[in-house]
Amino acid sequence: MHPVTVSETIGIPRDEVFEYLADIANHSEFTDHYLKDFRLTRENSYGLGAGARFKVKARGNRFPWGDATFIEVKAPERIVERGSGGKFNRVKTLGTFDLEALSNTSTKVSFTFESNPPKITDKFLESLGARGHIKRQNGKAMRRLRAILEDGERRGTRATVAGGPRKAASQYRF
């Protein structure tokens, strides 16, 4: 799929927006309308290497599971996530958050999403409306992000590591 870009202007400083977005556990708050069962892939959810696994809610989606991992975190202007989804996780995806400071109190956040389906069947399934669906869902996610950061609204829940709280290895008793 060719890149799909959505943007939103948020009325808070760029550093604060970056700090929020650099923690992948926060992403479930503004994307939970189309990404369900959000689970972290490691305990540290902030910065380079942080990742999550989720279920993509879409009509007719037979292979809903996908994942994303931060591969570039350049403070305070850019976050790049690489992921995969589809059948056997063979469709590679790339998402990029670009943050541009418009003034000391506002930030333009742009999110670009692209995918690379390897097989003709994956390309065909994507051609049945995936581009429009992704653009609508990411546009809504950006509006929700603005509401959360500007108004302090908490819509979704923060993601956690699957399996519950962790204990240090020294506390385990045989």
Q: Give tens-digit pLDDT for 64-109.
A: 899 999 999 999 999 999 999 988 899 999 999 999 999 889 999 9
Q: Give domain limits for the chain.
A: 4-162
If pLDDT is split at 50, 70 and 90, which confidence band does 62 have? confident
Query: Cis peptide before 76, with omega less than 30 degrees from 0?
Result: yes
What is the predicted pLDDT for the residue at 123?
83
Question: Per CATH, the architecture of 4-162 is what?
Answer: 2-Layer Sandwich (3.30)
The structure's pTM equals: 0.86
Beta bridge partners of 46: 23
Task: Locate 52 and state its tokens.
Answer: 């999550």
Percent residues over pLDDT 90 in the chain: 63
Mean pLDDT over 144-154 rounds to: 88
d(CA 102, CA 13): 9
Task: Locate 22 and state its tokens.
Answer: 């650099």
If pLDDT is split at 50, 70 and 90, which confidence band does 30 have? very high
The answer to whether 95 touches 83, Cβ cutoff 8 Å, is yes
What is the predicted pLDDT for the residue at 93?
94
Single out the residue of 142, 159, 56, 134 nearest to residue 107, CA to CA: 142
Which pLDDT tens digit goes with each residue over 97-133?
999 999 889 999 999 999 998 999 888 878 877 888 8
